[in-house]
Amino acid sequence: MRKALVFGVLAILLAAASSARAQLSLPYPALTIFFRTADLEPLSQSRFVLNLAAQSAAKIPQANVNLFDDFYLINGQWSGSPNSLIVHFNGVLQNLGQRQMPPWIGVAQFSNHAITYDIQAGFQQVKAKYGMPNARAASVVVYRTLNTGLLVYDYRIPIKGGRCQEYLFTPDSGGFQLGMQVNCYMSLVAVGRGRAGHR
């Protein structure tokens, strides 16, 4: 009886240790949870953002957006400035650089805490809708439209010449739309030059 109890406790401890190791090996929590729960106010200097983006730091398109480890936000209300602020940050909310840019127009402010629909599930729906089961996303941008007030998940799929085709998914309405051909990746240098804003 005592041996069985010892072996039982040992088995539970080994299973717990194995589970802990497995959790530690995960690169990041699900992107949706990270975006929804992150305290972005110190980075954005505001309670609101205009764009929230994720991509691979190695610039490698992924079939699973939860593997993205490089992040950007654009803030429309930077205290004391008429301009917007773009901030580059990582998975532990460390500021990797920022700069002022011309006002980012065409989208509405939103709180990252409003992101509830799973971003990877949205990507799966886009792939099914457009018949591209093997597609990989270079990046994804979340924003709120001015005309509908709904959040949009903007998946950027590589096409050619370093360009990407936008595939837009609106979780609340279940709507899909083809967007424009754009740069695949965000950077502090590229964003804010060439066009005033986003849809």
Tens digits of pLDDT across the chain (199 residues) = 555 444 443 344 334 333 333 333 344 459 999 999 999 999 999 999 999 999 999 999 999 999 999 999 999 766 566 788 999 999 999 999 999 988 888 899 999 999 999 999 999 999 999 999 999 999 999 999 999 999 999 999 999 888 999 999 999 999 999 999 999 999 998 665 433 334 3
Q: Is residue 101 part of a domain?
A: yes
Domain that holds residue 126: 31-183
What total number of domains does the chain contain? 1
Task: Identify the pLDDT of residue 11.
Answer: 43
Task: Identify the pLDDT of residue 19.
Answer: 36
Q: Quick check: 144 and 109 in contact, CB under 8 A?
A: yes
Q: Is residue 98 part of a domain?
A: yes
Task: Identify the pLDDT of residue 76.
Answer: 77
Q: Is residue 138 part of a domain?
A: yes
Q: Is residue 10 part of a domain?
A: no
Task: Identify the pLDDT of residue 106.
Answer: 86
Q: Is residue 196 part of a domain?
A: no
Task: Identify the pLDDT of residue 194.
Answer: 39
Q: Quick check: 186 and 137 in contact, CB under 8 A?
A: no
Q: Is residue 161 part of a domain?
A: yes
> Residue type at 82?
P
The rounded distance, in Å, linking the Cα atoms of 177 and 57 is 27
Q: Is residue 198 part of a domain?
A: no
Q: Is residue 11 part of a domain?
A: no
